[in-house]
A and B are shown apart, each in its own frame.
Chain A
Amino acid sequence: QVQLVESGGGVVQPGRSLRLSCAASGFTFSSYGMQWVRQGPGKGLEWVAVIWYDGGNYYADSVKGRFTISRDNSRNTLYLQMNSLRAEDTAVYYCARISGGDSGSYFDYWGRGNLVTVSS
């Protein structure tokens, strides 16, 4: 079965960096686009970044220039490098798989999430 397991979260000071990982299993990782989505405390869902199966990527304006999404298909792992972190980046970060086929690019599987807290 499809599994996505995030790791790497924690407490970090403003201005510092953190890297999240998402280990994928149960499907051919290299064939799917992958996403990061975040949810601030008590808030709604916010799309963060996408990386397609061919490595093309795209970011939300709120993280552009600070965050970098990448993937290692040999390790079946998705990454999110977060630099220059701000208090407003505090959130649970989810990785999610983009569905395949002609039903469009909705998110069909999600990880359980990983909390990132930016605080001095």
Chain B
Amino acid sequence: DIQMTQSPSTLSASVGDRVTITCRASQSISSWLAWYQQKPGKAPKVMIYKASSLESGVPSRFSGSGSGTEFTLTISSLQPDDFATYYCQQYHSSWTFGQGTKVEIK
């Protein structure tokens, strides 16, 4: 099974900060990676798919990069609506999520 490891687990940041979350796969997954945002009590929402493609309707301050085993999600200028938990997910072989990164207010 492919394992996904995110870092950090928690990230404290201020509005306007540039934020980067890292996700590592235990083996190569090419670009078959998605990023989801989840707010408390709500369903996850896809933000990025195929490592770097922005889902329709997602603000352009979100971007994704990487391939193989190392990936990043970047928020260029953190907004109040962005405080949430973010999960990476590989879909190269079955589906596996990372453990999540909580972005909280500093």
Contacts of A80-120 to chain B: CB distance below 8 A: 94, 99, 103-108, 110-113
Tell me how many residue pairs across A and B have CB atoms closer than 8 Å: 53
Most buried by B among A45, A47, A94, A99: A45
- CA gap between A110 and B42 in the complex, in Å: 10
Which chain B residues border A44 with CB–CB below 8 Å?
87, 97-100
Question: B89, A106: Cβ atoms under 8 Å?
Answer: yes
Question: B44, A45: Cβ atoms under 8 Å?
Answer: yes
Give which listed residue, B43, B89, B94, contacts A112 with CB less than 8 A: B43
- CA gap between A35 and B36 in the complex, in Å: 16
Q: Hey, what's the 0/1 contact readout for B75-106 against A, CB within 8 Å counting as 1?
A: 00000000000010101001111111000000
Question: A111, B49: Cβ atoms under 8 Å?
Answer: no
Nearest chain B CB to A47 CB, angstrom units: 4
Closest A residue by C-beta to B32: A104
In this assembly, does A58 line the interface, its C-beta being within 8 Å of a C-beta of chain B?
yes
In this assembly, does A72 line the interface, its C-beta being within 8 Å of a C-beta of chain B?
no
Question: B45, A110: Cβ atoms under 8 Å?
Answer: yes
Which chain B residues border A107 with CB–CB below 8 Å?
34, 36, 44, 46, 89
Give which listed residue, B36, B43, B45, B50, contacts A104 with CB less than 8 A: B50
- CA gap between A99 and B48 in the complex, in Å: 13
Query: Given A104-B32, A104-B49, is A58 in contact with B94 using a C-beta cutoff of 8 Å?
Result: yes
Nearest chain A CB to B62 CB, angstrom units: 15
Nearest chain A CB to B87 CB, angstrom units: 6
- CA gap between A94 and B89 in the complex, in Å: 15
Which chain A residues border B97 with CB–CB below 8 Å?
44-47
Query: Given A44-B87, A45-B87, A103-B53, is A108 in contact with B46 using a C-beta cutoff of 8 Å?
Result: yes
Known pairs A45-B97, A47-B94 / 12 extra A-B pairs, C-beta < 8 Å: A35-B95, A44-B98, A44-B100, A50-B95, A103-B49, A103-B53, A104-B50, A106-B34, A106-B50, A110-B43, A110-B45, A112-B43
